[in-house]
Chain A
Amino acid sequence: MDFTELAQKIGLEDDEFLELVELFMETCASDISRLQVAIDQGDTQQVVEAAHSIKGASANLGFMEISSVAKEMEQNARDDSLDGAAEAVETIKKGLDLIKEKL
C-alpha cells in the first residue's frame, strides 16, 4: 500500500491525505468498538450501521479491501446473520494496523 499513490489516485496532496487518514482511523476505531459491543449483544441493526460507516469511509479513501470486508459484514447483518462478523472485525483491524504502520 502506497499512500502517495493512493493520494494521487483520489487527487489529494500527501499531507492532506494523511490528515484524512488520521481522521478515518479515529472514526474507524469508534466504529470498531461499536461493532464489538453490537456483535456481543447480537444487535444486528447496530452492526449494519457501524459496518456501513466503515464501508463508505474506506471507499472514499480508496481502501477497497477494508471496504469490501465491511460491505459483506453489513450485508450479512442485514439478513440477520452475524456469522463471520467477529472474524471480519479482526480482518478490518489488521488492515487498519497496516495503515497505522505507514502513518
Chain B
Amino acid sequence: MKKILVVDNHPLMLKFMTDLLTKKGYQVKAAQDGLTALNILKSYIPAVIFIDLVMPNIGGIKLCQIIRRMPELRDVYLIILSAIAAEEKIDPAEFGADICIAKGPFNEMAQNVLDALDRQDQGISPGPQGTVIGVENIHSREITRELLSIKKHFEVILGSMSEGILEITPEARVVYANPAALALIDKPEEELLASNFGDLFYETDHQRIKDLFGQELNAPRSIPEDSPVRLNDRQISLNLVPLKDKENKIIVILNDVTDRRRMEVQLQQIRKMEAVGTLAGGIAHDFNNLLMGIQGNASLMLLDVDSTHPHHKRLNNIVKLVQSGSKLTRQLLGYARKGRYEVKPINLNQLVEETSETFGRTKKEVAIHQELAEDLFPIEADQGQIEQVLLNMYVNAWQAMPDGGDLFLKTMNTTHEEMKGKLYEPKPGNYVLLAITDTGVGIDKNTRERIFDPFFTTKEMGRGTGLGLASVYGIIKGHGGYIDVDSEKGRGTTFSICLPASPKEAIEKKELHEEALKGTETVLLIDDEDMIIDVGKQMLEALGYEVLIARSSSQAIDVYNANKDRIDMVILDMIMPDMNGGEIYDRLKQINPSIKVLLSSGYSIDGQATKILERGCNGFIQKPFNMEQISGKIREILDKK
C-alpha cells in the first residue's frame, strides 16, 4: 500500500484529500503545517507528499527544501498543492518539488490528483518536472499575486534588518529565521528550521534560556545586553515577544552586542587608566621629592660611615627602599601612559645589553642568551621607561624559573606587514622587534587574558604588586608599539615587543658612572622645596662644588644676574610654583645664550622636558637621585666641549 502524506493548513482540504486517497486504497497521514509534517516524517516514510504552499510554522517552500536534504526522503515524490503557485509562475523545481497541482473546485482537483498518482504508479512522469496542472479554471489571480507581494514586502524588511528574527513555537522549535538570524546562528536554513531553539546555545547558557520560557509567556522577556548569552563566540542579547495568536508563537529578536560590549570594556579600561594616571600624577611629584629628601639624607650619612660601620648596611637598605618606592610611581605612571619625560632616538640593543648584564650579575641561575640584530633601527623612546620595561620582563622571567633556566633576548628589524595576523592592526612602517623568551612555568589561557591588568598577580603577597606587565603595556602603547604573548603551560613564555623605528640617528649613550665624580665648579640650584635645597646643596658640596641656591623663579633670575660670571651651570627643578621650568629656562637663556642647565623633576607632564631639551637644555635627571647619578650628569654637561 502506497504511503502518502498530505500537508495543508485548511481542515477542509485535509479532509477532502484524506478521504479521496483513502478511498482509493492509499495509506494516508495528514499534517496541518510544516512542523507537524516534519514530526511525522521522523517515523513515516511516504512515497508521495502533497504540500500546501502558504502555511504557518514552516511554509511549503521551506518544507520541500528541508525534505530534499533528508537522505531517506531524497526520492519522495513532492506535489505542491496550491492556488498561489499557479498564479505567481513559481517553478516548483526550484525548491525541489516535482509538480504542482492548482487548487480549485474539488472535482477538478480530484481528477488531477488521481491522474498524477496513477501515472506516478505506472512510472510515467505525470508531466515534465516543474509542471503546473489545472491552472485553466483558476480565478482571482490578482488577489493572490498581491497576497504574495505583501509577503515579499515583509520579506524585504526582514531580509534587510541587522537584528536576527526568529519565529518559534511555544515548544521552542524554530519555524522561521531571517537572513541575519541565519548568519548569527551560522547554520543552513534547512538544518535550523524545526530544530530546538535552546540547543543553539552553549551548555552553560541552557539554564538561562530555559528560565526564559519558564512560566507562560504573557509579556516580552529578555536576556539583556549587559549579561548576554554566547552564540558562536558572539555575545547576543535576546528579546522574546509573545505573538498572542492562537498558536501562541513567539518572536525572538537576536542582537549581536559583541562590539558594543567590547567597546564598553575598553572604555572602562581607559577610565581606569585615566583614574590611576590622575592619581599617580597627582602624588608622583610630592612623593618623589619626599623620596629625594630621604635619599639625600641617606647619601650624606653614607659619606661619614665606611663599610665596617654597623649603620652602613642600614643606610644601604634605606637607599634600596627608596628605589622600590620610586619604582612604584614609575610603574603606575607607566600603566597610565605617562612619564615619558625625555624622548630621543636610542639604540635598543645597547639598552638590552646593559640592562641584561646588570641583571645577570645578580641572577646567576639564569643563563642569558643574546641574538641582537647588528643593523637594528633606532627607536625614539624614553630611555628610563624602556629600561623599566626590560627589567620588568627579566624579573618576571626569573620568577617564572625558580630552579633557573634560559633567557633568550632577540632583536630584529620588521615591518607592519610582517606583524600581520595579530590581534592588533599595526600602523604602517618599520618596527623593531624584541622577543624575550624564558623556559619557565608558562602561562595558561585563563591567566593570559589578565596578565596585563593592573594589580593582577599570581604571586604571593609582598612578592608581586601586579603592576609589572600593566606598566610594560602602558609604556609600549605610549611609545606607539605593540606587545604580544605566546606561552604554553610548563614550556615557557615569549613576549614580543614591537616599537616603531625612527629615521633619526641614535644618540650615543654616555657611560654609566658607578663612582661619584668630583668637581670644583659653581652650581646654581633652583628648587622651591627646602628639603631638596638642603640635601641638594650638601650633596653637591660634598662632591666639591661651590653651591648657590634659589627658592623661587624671581630669586633664580636675580641670583643668576648677580653671579652670571661665576656660575658654571644651573640645576633647575621643572615645576616651580610661580613660573614653569620652561619659562625660567628661556629667561636664563636670554641672559646667557650659552648657559648650561640640567633639568630635574619628580614628575612632569609628558613631553615637557623633551620640549625644553629641544630648545638647547643640556640634560635631565629624575628625582630621587643619588650622588653617583647627579655627579655623572654634571660631569657629562660640564666636560662637554
B10 / chain A contacts, CB cutoff of 8 Å:
27, 53, 56-57
Q: CB-defined interface of B148-170 with A at 8 Å, one 1/0 digit per residue?
A: 00100000000000000000000
Complex contact B11–A27 (CB within 8 A): yes
CA distance A92 to B19 in the complex (A): 27
CA distance A10 to B104 in the complex (A): 10
Beyond A11-B107, A71-B143, A74-B143, is A60–B16 a contact (Cβ under 8 Å)? yes
* Residues from 92 to 147 in B contacting A, C-beta threshold 8 Å: 103-107, 109-111, 139-140, 142-143, 146-147
| A18-26, A81-89, A95-103 - interface stretch | A18-26
Any B CB within 8 A of the CB of A69? no
Complex contact B140–A10 (CB within 8 A): no
Any A CB within 8 A of the CB of B390? no
- Residue tally, chain A, CB below 8 Å to B: 25
A78 / chain B contacts, CB cutoff of 8 Å:
143, 146-147, 150
Beyond A11-B111, A23-B11, is A60–B106 a contact (Cβ under 8 Å)? yes
B11 / chain A contacts, CB cutoff of 8 Å:
23, 26-27
Nearest-neighbour CB distance to chain B for A61, whole angstroms, equals: 7
Nearest-neighbour CB distance to chain A for B105, whole angstroms, equals: 5
Complex contact B143–A24 (CB within 8 A): no
CA distance A61 to B12 in the complex (A): 10
Nearest-neighbour CB distance to chain B for A52, whole angstroms, equals: 7
Q: CB-defined interface of B6-17 with A at 8 Å, one 1/0 digit per residue?
A: 000011110110
* Residues from 13 to 72 in A contacting B, C-beta threshold 8 Å: 16, 19-20, 23-24, 26-27, 48, 52-53, 55-57, 59-62, 71
Complex contact B147–A60 (CB within 8 A): no
Q: Which residue of B lies closest to A51 (CB)?
A: B143
A10 / chain B contacts, CB cutoff of 8 Å:
105-107, 110
Q: Which residue of B lies closest to A64 (CB)?
A: B105
* Residues from 415 to 433 in B contacting A, C-beta threshold 8 Å: none
A24 / chain B contacts, CB cutoff of 8 Å:
12
CA distance A27 to B14 in the complex (A): 12
Complex contact A23–B15 (CB within 8 A): yes
**When the two chains form the complex, which single residue of A12, A19, A60, A62 contacts B13, counting CB atoms closer than 8 Å?**
A60
Any A CB within 8 A of the CB of B83? yes
A53 / chain B contacts, CB cutoff of 8 Å:
10
Q: Which residue of A lies closest to B137 (CB)?
A: A59
**When the two chains form the complex, which single residue of A20, A56, A75 contacts B103, counting CB atoms closer than 8 Å?**
A56
Complex contact B12–A55 (CB within 8 A): no
Nearest-neighbour CB distance to chain B for A78, whole angstroms, equals: 6
Nearest-neighbour CB distance to chain B for A36, whole angstroms, equals: 15
Complex contact B140–A27 (CB within 8 A): no
Complex contact B105–A20 (CB within 8 A): no
B110 / chain A contacts, CB cutoff of 8 Å:
10-11
Complex contact B107–A9 (CB within 8 A): yes
Beyond A10-B105, A55-B140, is A20–B15 a contact (Cβ under 8 Å)? yes
A27 / chain B contacts, CB cutoff of 8 Å:
10-12
Complex contact A60–B104 (CB within 8 A): yes
CA distance A11 to B103 in the complex (A): 15
Q: Which residue of A lies closest to B110 (CB)?
A: A11
CA distance A27 to B11 in the complex (A): 7
Complex contact A23–B12 (CB within 8 A): yes
CA distance A16 to B85 in the complex (A): 28
Q: Which residue of A lies closest to B12 (CB)?
A: A57
A-B contacts besides A48-B147, A56-B10, 16 pairs, CB < 8 Å: A11-B107, A11-B111, A12-B106, A23-B12, A52-B147, A57-B12, A59-B105, A60-B12, A60-B103, A61-B106, A62-B105, A71-B139, A71-B143, A74-B143, A78-B146, A78-B150
25 A-B pairs whose Cβ atoms sit less than 8 Å apart in the complex: A10-B106, A10-B107, A12-B106, A12-B107, A19-B15, A19-B19, A20-B12, A20-B15, A20-B106, A27-B11, A52-B147, A56-B83, A56-B103, A59-B104, A60-B12, A60-B16, A60-B104, A60-B105, A60-B106, A61-B12, A61-B105, A71-B140, A74-B143, A75-B142, A75-B143
